[in-house]
A and B are shown apart, each in its own frame.
Chain A
Amino acid sequence: MSVAQWFKGISLRRPPAPAASPSEAPAPERVYLPLRQHRGDVCEPQVQPGDQVALGQIIGSSESIEAALVHATVSGKVEQIIDISDAEGHPTPTVVIQNDGKDAWAAPDADALIIDNADQVLQTKPSHLLKAIRKAGLVRAAAHGLPMQAELSPPMAPRSYLFMTGIPVVRTIDTLIVKAVDADQPIIPNQAGLAGFGAELEIGIAAVARICGAQKVIIAAAKGADLGQLPQIAAAREWSISQVNGCHYPFGLDSMIINALTGREVPTPYGEPRDVGVLIEPLATILDVGRVLRTGRPVIDRLFTVAGDVAKPQTFRARLGTPMAEMIKAAGGASGQPGKVIIGGPMMGMAHFDLNTPVTKESDGLFVISLAKVQTFSGEPCIHCGRCVQVCPVNLIPAELGKMCQYGHYEEAADKDLMHCIECGCCAYVCPAKRPMVHLLRLGKTEVLARRAE
């Protein structure tokens, strides 16, 4: 832990449980497959209600590079195509498939590769790897994830804002960071993935590094995590393993890990890791890439943690499209009446109103809070205690920004670097007046963007 980190961020009250390897969640009776499960464009449905579909059959596709193909994750009959709210809360056209329980696989795709080991990856053309990944409909396994083909291939045009600032624009990736830590404890798909990985990890890392062209691979693992065979594998391939302080929130967030491991700062607010030559991928994504290349089949499930007030919090391999209600059931049911159901972790996740919302490629977990434990913000005034300033990982003065946003001085707040806030929520967590800090800051950001757009 660097000295700066010792004073910044927050230590959560509950220490995270050690990650156990993921278990298989039962396939639901009915899957809900939104035709967009990521940041980007919506796919066109390729099936009609009444059609019989096989496991892994393409049911939604698009020409756009920013859209990932959607595959059936059970075999059975297409019931209907309706609009339901996806993990982001937007109504999205969704294919509902009734499970016939046979799990009959569709014929493999022509572009699919079957790769047994990482050496074979190095002999395969990156474009072939990329094509296989695209056909498998892979998405970066994190909230707001892009489809993998968009993530891995260079963008069409450099974005203009960086030119105006006069800093050199790095667009070639030299470092791949594999993130085996999870920022938002106790949602720990990556740590659980690390606890039960197989040959696909090595293949996945080699493939992603080959496609993006990174010379340096860093595996960021949590302090004290059980790495199994990973050190030997990494040593043979000259990958390095770094222990990061991922459990001390928010130092498991992408920009924080990049800063800790490479010393580079991802330019906020519009920058991406790519701007500083880094590609950072959650371990869950890497495992998926490895599995796709190894089996030649598309991804039908994902690592998904159910935690909070449920009987048996654990990480599952959950079929995409499983409704949240089924996932809560798989974890032994909620203890007490659920008051809040959050997709993502308790610090940065999104509260949902509909338990039919399915598991999608970009949702990494579910956090349930029982009605009795739901905490509320208050309208009390800020007491200027400065605790938020102490914890803010990007060195803002949240108290001041909060007041400005509350009273409508949005442009003034933007001058004081409002737009650089990463919405980590540390300020709201420590605030003794229980002010809804992130709410105010988001309000301010939205207003600033709306005014600038005019």
Chain B
Amino acid sequence: MSKQLLTVSTSPHMLGGMSVRSMHVEYIIALIPALATGVYYFGWPALLTVLLATGSAVVCELALTKLAKQPTKLDDLHAVVMGLLLGLILPPVVAGLEDACPWWIPVVGGALAVGLGKVLFGGIGAYPMNPVLIAWAALALSWPEHTMAFLDPMPWGTEDPEWVVSTAPLVEFKNDIGNMLSYEMANLWSGMYPSAVGAGGSWALLLGGVYLIIRRIVPWQIPLGVLAGLIGMALLATYTDSRIVEMELETFNDHWNVALFHMATGGLMITAFFLAPEPVSSPMTPWGMLLFGVGIGVMTVLVRHWGAPIDGAFYGVLIMNAATPLFDRIRPRVLGKVGSSA
């Protein structure tokens, strides 16, 4: 008999090679275009925001997991991705400018995301809601003036940029729906308007999102659901919201433009492709994911037209996250299951 020692285990003996770390690397790759767009329009302040949020998330992850006696797994890059996403949905930080977002907002945000959103629930895999959005919601409720302090874009290369705090399109929209028409659609889609660091560049987010879908990191059902829900509800709103009906839009194209406006502004694109499909807090079954997405899209428009907050995309995700266990009950039919033969 041979003396050689062989490993024995259950099948499969070959794995796909994906790890939590490589999955997060893909997320980071997919976020690069959005980050680049943010830096292009908002310069160093944008980069500073992202760095502060990421640094804070990483340091807090280290400290809090030690404190909570959880295994510290910084190398799975989850804290980095969380910090990155949080930085991208906050306004750019400018030191010394009155009314601008102060430096401690991303820092507190990173800590909240890791502490309140993740470690408190037991780490990755255990939290019920998207930790990034929990942090964002906490910031937005506590310091609304800071989380809405967006800057006027200054494309990279502008001599001595003078940062000016300005109002986001959605705020204008809230004040008077007619303001919607004063924006160039091309500017809205490229991100040239006062917005959060990375939430404005719709084309860039679309690019990153499609990459994630092709790499099968993000299931296509959720982004598709969000966009479908948003477009459907936005079109419905153009026919029912009395303020828009008064505007007497003539062609279908005008109605369609309202949908495009909703798609390009606020946090919708980053929600559709990055925040809603966050693995832990989103559903897993095909139809569940689709409905989850539709729910978020519908919610966004409802809040923007008729709700109290400015934008509904992020709150929509949080609320739908709470319903994730319900969506997971919508199962596909099991192949080969006949009668009650279990």
A-side residues, CB < 8 A to B, are 10, 12-13, 161-162, 164-167, 255, 259, 265-271, 325, 338-342, 346-356, 367, 369, 374-377, 380-387, 389-390, 393-397, 399-400, 414-415, 417, 419-420, 423, 425, 428-434, 436, 438-439, 442
Contacts and interface: CB of A to CB of B under 8 A. Distances in A.
Contacts of A355: 2, 4, 6
A382 B332 CA distance: 21
B1 A354 contact: yes
B7 A349 contact: no
15 contacts: A167-B339, A340-B7, A346-B11, A346-B14, A347-B12, A353-B6, A382-B125, A383-B124, A384-B279, A400-B328, A420-B334, A428-B12, A430-B18, A431-B18, A438-B10
B342 A386 contact: no
B16 A10 contact: yes
A365 to B, nearest CB: 13
A380 B20 contact: yes
Chain B contact patch, size range: 35 or more
A386 B6 contact: no
Nearest to A12: B14
Interface string B1-41: 11010111111111111111011000000000000000000
A13 B336 contact: no
Contacts of B69: none
A442 B341 contact: no
B171 interface: no
Contacts of A428: 12, 15
A369 to B, nearest CB: 6
**Which 6 residue pairs of A and B lie closest in terms of their CB atoms, listed nearest first?**
A165-B339, A386-B284, A425-B12, A385-B279, A381-B125, A268-B336
Nearest to B4: A355
Contacts of B216: 387, 390
Given A386-B283, A430-B18, A394 B334 contact: yes
Nearest to A249: B12
Interface of B is mostly: loop
Given A351-B8, A381-B125, A420-B336, A432 B20 contact: yes
A292 B330 CA distance: 52
Contacts of A423: 11
A287 B194 CA distance: 72
Contacts of B17: 13
B6 A389 contact: no
A265 B336 contact: yes
Contacts of B11: 342, 346-351, 423, 425, 438
Interface in B237-294: 279-286, 289
B15 to A, nearest CB: 5
Given A384-B279, A396-B334, A162 B341 contact: yes
Contacts of A342: 11, 13
Contacts of B333: 395
Given A436-B10, A438-B10, 18 more contacts: A12-B14, A265-B338, A340-B9, A348-B11, A350-B11, A381-B123, A381-B126, A383-B20, A383-B125, A384-B280, A386-B285, A387-B216, A390-B219, A395-B331, A396-B334, A419-B342, A429-B12, A429-B15
Given A383-B124, A417-B334, A428-B12, A397 B339 contact: no
A385 B222 CA distance: 12
B340 interface: yes
Contacts of A394: 334-336
Contact of A375 (B10, B15, B342): B15
A75 to B, nearest CB: 25
B8 A386 contact: no
Contacts of A395: 331-335
B79 to A, nearest CB: 14
Contacts of B279: 383-386
Given A266-B336, A268-B336, A442-B10, A429 B16 contact: yes
B7 A432 contact: no
A396 B334 CA distance: 6
Interface string B109-138: 000000000000001111000000000000
Contacts of B22: 432
